[in-house]
Amino acid sequence: MAEKRVQVEMFSRPGCHLCDDALKVINDARTRYAFDFRVINVDEDAERASAYVEQIPVIHINGSKAFKFQVDPSELESKLERLWNL
C-alpha cells in the first residue's frame, strides 16, 4: 500500500510576523505528523502577490485553503488527523 502524502503549503513573504507565528505552529505539528511542507514567497510571482496582497499567511492543505492569517494548533492537528484516517 502506498504511503499517504499530505501536502502543506504556506504562502508568505519576508518580514511577516504572522507568517513566523504560523511557521512555528506548522513546525511543531511536523514533530507529530509526517507531511510535505513548503513555503512559497508570494513576492516572487506578480500574480500571487496580487492575489494574496495582505492576506498572508495563507495555508493550503492538499491544495485547499485551510487557514488565513493565523494557524490554530488544535485545528491544524484535527485536519491532519482526519487526512490520515481517510
Preceding peptide of 57 cis, ω within 30°: yes
**Per-residue pLDDT at 50:** 87
Supply the pLDDT for residue 85: 77
- How far apart are the C-alpha atoms of 86 and 83, rounded to whole Å? 5
| pTM listed for this prediction | 0.89
Q: What is the mean pLDDT of the chain?
A: 91
Q: Can you give the pLDDT at residue 77? A: 95
Q: Report whether 59 contacts 71 (CB < 8 A).
A: yes
Q: What is the dotted CATH code of the domain comprising 7-76?
A: 3.40.30.10
pLDDT band, residue 86 (cuts 50/70/90): low
- Given a contact cutoff of 8 angstroms between Cβ atoms, the answer to whether 27 and 35 are in contact is no
- The residues, ordered by sequence, that sit 6+ positions from 7 with a Cβ below 8 Å of its Cβ are 35, 36, 60, 61, 62, 63
pLDDT 10s digits, 14-40: 999 999 999 999 999 999 998 999 999
Q: Which three three-digit cell numbers place residue 23?
A: 511557521
